[in-house]
Structure 1
Amino acid sequence: MSLNSIFQYFVPKDKKFFPLFEQAGANLIEMAKLLNISVNSTNLEERKELSKKLEDLEHVGDNITHQIHLELGRNFITPFDREDIHALASSLDDVADFIHGASNRMQLYNVEQPTQPMIEITALILEATEHVAKALFELKDLKNIRNITDSCVRINSVENKADYIFDKAVADLFEYEKDAIALIKQKEVLSAMEDATDKCEDVANVLESILVKNA
């Protein structure tokens, strides 16, 4: 048994950070679901309402991040390195920001008909957030390292798929889209969506770092 494992044995069961991380994960799934509904809807008024709900959930995510930072200041003993807690909270907040950003760009640029690549990447965002939430749920018991590692691998796989769809979609835009304004609008929306999967991968990277330090 490593010294770190022995130390963890004597650390009181955390009742602050892990519940907050689980709330953040659940919030990301809800945001991804709303974005997924939005890109599959042809009702512009419905999409406007969904965008407003996404904005509200993004604020919920901000509040969770703020609460995690407050707890860092209040607690001398933390379940793992303070820097990792901060990095994990920040990376989760980034995911929420880019999911909201994708929805916001669709509204700002008046994207009336989401394209098939947008629909596909949005589905991948939802899949990635589900794996993120699963990993966060397992984080409170570092005995289940294999489950967390599996989620991280799946997140990386999803991000690779999103990269491929994004690159192909942008290539097709330059090849076939003759309207420069429409091209820019679509590329900006696709970019925000793909960035959301990138940020999920950042979460996976932080989780893997935590596993290495606490193995």
Structure 2
Amino acid sequence: MLFGKLLPREGNFYEMFNQHAGRVVEAAHAFALLVKNYDDAELREKYNREVDHAERAADRVTHEVNRLIHKTFITPIDRDQIHKLINTMDDVADLLQDSAETMALYDLRRVNEEITRLTDLAVKCVERVREAVALIGSLGDAATAEAALKTCEEIDRLESDSDRVMRAAMSKLFREEPDVREVLKLKAIYELLETITDKCEDVANVIEGIVLEHS
């Protein structure tokens, strides 16, 4: 009986994955509102704080998952997969926070169409990550496993779209922007935003590995 009490419920990990994914979506939505309302300094600051709040909440979940890995005798999936999944998801939250901070640090004066498009793709990617994460607790069901793989494929497509948008944005930037400082600012921001979708693709790759191993 005592031995059984020492084993945390397997569902704890899946629940925490979902909690973390929810916090990352919150950060993405707050960042999107920051971009949408960028001309309003008060709203910009408000949404910047919301991004920070969501990122810190995600960090707390990550810390708890990493702590629980070492306390749990039997885990529902491989320990390395748990560690890689939660920490890669946390990288997404960090990149959203980094993007908001970089825009403030570089004193970006205005948001252009390229930033808006990259933000939109990043938000869609993060939302798909949440959908995929929600499915991994039920991979014994073939339909659920197939749905998870299809969601991961959609994340891959969104990442490819983001990569194309960034390449076009960079080409336009170097052709048309005469101010070197603006070039440096925008280049850094484009790269950060595209990296969000790259990291979502990394999450999708981890999930695909879990699906293939456990379905």
TM-score by length of 2: 0.92
Match of 2:58 in 1: 61
Structure 1 partner of 2:193: 193
CA distance in 2, matches of 1:44, 1:119: 17
State the AA in 1 paired with 2:184: I
In structure 2, the partner of 1:3 is: none
Q: How many residues align?
A: 205
Percent identity over paired residues:
29
What CA distance in whole angstroms lies between the structure 1 residues aligned with 2:189 and 2:34?
13
Aligned to 2:3: none
Aligned to 1:35: 31
Contact 1:121 1:165 in 2 (8 A): yes
The amino acid of 1:180's aligned partner reads: V
CA distance in 2, matches of 1:161, 1:117: 12
Matches of residues 89-168 of structure 1 in structure 2 within 5 Å? 89-142=86-139, 143=141, 144-168=144-168
Structure 2: any 5+ residue segments left out of the alignment? 1-6
Code of the residue aligned with 2:204 in structure 1: it is A
Asked if 1 retains the 8 angstrom alpha-carbon contact of 2:136 and 2:211, the reply is: no
Report the counterpart of residue 20 of structure 2 in structure 1: 24
Mapped to 2, the partners of 1:188 and 1:81 lie a distance apart of 36
State the Cα RMSD in Å. Answer: 1.3
Q: State whether residues 8 and 72 of structure 2, in contact with CA within 8 Å, keep that contact through their aligned partners in structure 1.
A: no
Q: CA deviation at 1:14?
A: 2.0
- Tell me the alpha carbon deviations over residues 147-188 of structure 1, each in whole angstroms, 9 at most, x when there is no partner: 110110110011001000001001111001000001100111
The alignment partner of 1:111 has SS state of coil
**Is residue 177 of structure 1 aligned with residue 174 of structure 2?**
no
Partner of 2:4: none
Q: Which runs of 5+ in 1 are unaligned?
A: 1-10
| Kept in 2: contact 1:48–1:107 (CA 8 A) | no
Q: How far apart, CA to CA, are the structure 2 residues paired with 1:159 and 1:65?
A: 24
Tell me which stretches of 4 or more aligned residues in structure 1 moved more than 4 Å: none
Residue 112 of structure 1: CA displacement?
2.1
